[in-house]
Amino acid sequence: MKKLLYGLGAVVGIAILGVAGFLLYFLVILPKDLPVPELAVEITPARVERGSYLANEVLGCMYCHSKRDYDYFGGPVIPGTLGQGGEVFDEKVGVSGYLVSQNITPYGIGDWSDGELYRAIVSGLHKDGYAMFPIMPFDVYLYLTDEDVYSVMAYVRSLEPIESENPGRELSTIMTIIANSRAIPAEPWDMDWNNQLQVGEYYARIGGCTFCHTTADERMQPIEGMYLAGGLGMPWKDKLIRASNITADPETGIGNWSEADFIKRFTDYRDNNIAVADVGWNSSMAWPVYAHIKEEDLAAIYAYLMAQPPVKHAVTIVDNKP
Ligand code: HEC
Ligand code: HEC
């Protein structure tokens, strides 16, 4: 996920670098354009439950904001570190400088107002007014319904506080420009929860599926007609691991999978840590996280994927000689 989310920002960064006159604008002015909304979010058991589901199994918040064990497939969260942050994103994932995921337990963000926290999640602006780097994937979260953001907020507010300090980020000027170009207003979806295709699309977007699985060019821009057709590569040691074609094409995609096959592919990873040493490679796909997506939500994602145009595009998943 790291590499890709950085990629998303990089594309914008490159586009902006072509327009030197705008640099100052992006560096100085843009992030201050989004005011802190007036908000008071009530913490209810229903919100905490929904927020826990979203933050842990769908959105990846707790995956990035906890310590992870990369000796296992998909890098599961190390128990006892939930929300303490400290994951480092540096040149290994293409960041010039480094970023550190921060402590989002009440010890870390207990003094943030609800408006500040809301704005950070969906628009990427830090409490202190600077734009966060889009490895913190607010450009995917901007679609969240307000109620879902409130639920995530209620959940992180109710986390066990962990007293752990993390270093701040250290970014090169270009990385700062990329970050500052990304602060964006929220576009919450108006959801009809009885419409399975819409629910499927919602989860596919906020879960990052559509982003990782759409074929992109070398500048990480989606290629027209290749929605969900796979191929985006992420490095793992000396190998390149590519995202699968998840269109309805029966030969090169997942068109001959039944709904039950699709659901099982996820639930097989429930509480089932696979040693990387046994498999010989690791995936950027957060299987240990997505394994716990509810079966009805997986079914909705499946229905949505099957309703998109099939694309014939063979992908080599584990490429030993990229
Ligand atoms: C960070 C990038 C990333 C994200 C986000 C992501 N995937 Fe994947 N996915 C991959 C990669 C890489 C593979 C191939 C390696 C593997 O099987 O783990 C893959 C494999 C798969 C497969 C197996 C396909 C096959 O032919 O075996 C399915 C199904 C799938 N993803 C669906 C999803 C869905 C649904 C979501 C969202 C809930 C999602 N992915 C989110 C990167 C991603
Ligand atoms: C792919 C990894 C990733 C995911 C997923 C992610 N974050 Fe972050 N988050 C980061 C990083 C990295 C930073 C630091 C960004 C920076 O310094 O520019 C951050 C910063 C933050 C901050 C600022 C905290 C501070 O004290 O500076 C908050 C709040 C936050 N994230 C909440 C969330 C929530 C809530 C979610 C889920 C809805 C989430 N994050 C998902 C990586 C992630």
Q: Is 300's C-beta closer than 6 angstroms to any atom of ligand 1?
A: no
Model confidence band, residue 83 (pLDDT cutoffs 50, 70, 90): very high
- For a mutational test of ligand 1's pocket, the pick from 135, 244, 247, i.e. the residue with the most ligand atoms closer than 8 A to its C-beta, is 244
Model confidence band, residue 9 (pLDDT cutoffs 50, 70, 90): very low
Distance 224 CA to ligand 1 centre (A): 20
- 108 & 222 share domain: no
Residues contacting 19, CB < 8 A, separation 6+: none
Upper half-sphere CA count for residue 150 (Cβ side, 13 Å): 15
- Number of residues in the chain: 322
Does residue 255 sit within a domain? yes
Residue nearest ligand 2's atom 25 by CA: 102
Q: Are 159 and 82 in contact (CB under 8 A)?
A: yes
Does residue 172 sit within a domain? yes
Please give the model's pTM, rounded to 2 decimal places: 0.91
Residue nearest ligand 1's atom 33 by CA: 209
Residue 285: domain span: 196-319
Neighbouring-strand partners of residue 88: 100
Residue nearest ligand 2's atom 9 by CA: 136
- 115 & 202 share domain: no
Does residue 291 sit within a domain? yes
Q: Which of 180, 208, 223 is the last residue of a domain?
A: 180
- 300 & 214 share domain: yes
What φ, ψ does residue 67 adopt, rounded to 5°?
A: -85, 145
Among 52-56, 89-93, 131-135, 304-308, which is the least confidently predicted range? 89-93
- 207 & 293 share domain: yes
pLDDT reported for residue 90: 87
Residue nearest ligand 1's atom 12 by CA: 243
- 120 & 236 share domain: no
pLDDT tens profile 96-152: 899 999 999 999 999 999 999 999 999 999 999 889 988 899 989 999 999 999 999
- For a mutational test of ligand 2's pocket, the pick from 5, 62, 65, i.e. the residue with the most ligand atoms closer than 8 A to its C-beta, is 65
Distance 91 CA to ligand 2 centre (A): 18
**Encoded amino acid at 230, one letter:** G
pLDDT reported for residue 11: 36
Cα three-residue angle 203-232-94, rounded to 5 degrees: 100
* Residue 270: count of CB within 10 angstroms of its CB: 10
Per the listing, tokens 């400290």 go with: 86
Does residue 152 sit within a domain? yes
Distance 209 CA to ligand 1 centre (A): 7
- 141 & 241 share domain: no
Q: Which ligand has the nearest atom to the CA of 136?
A: 2
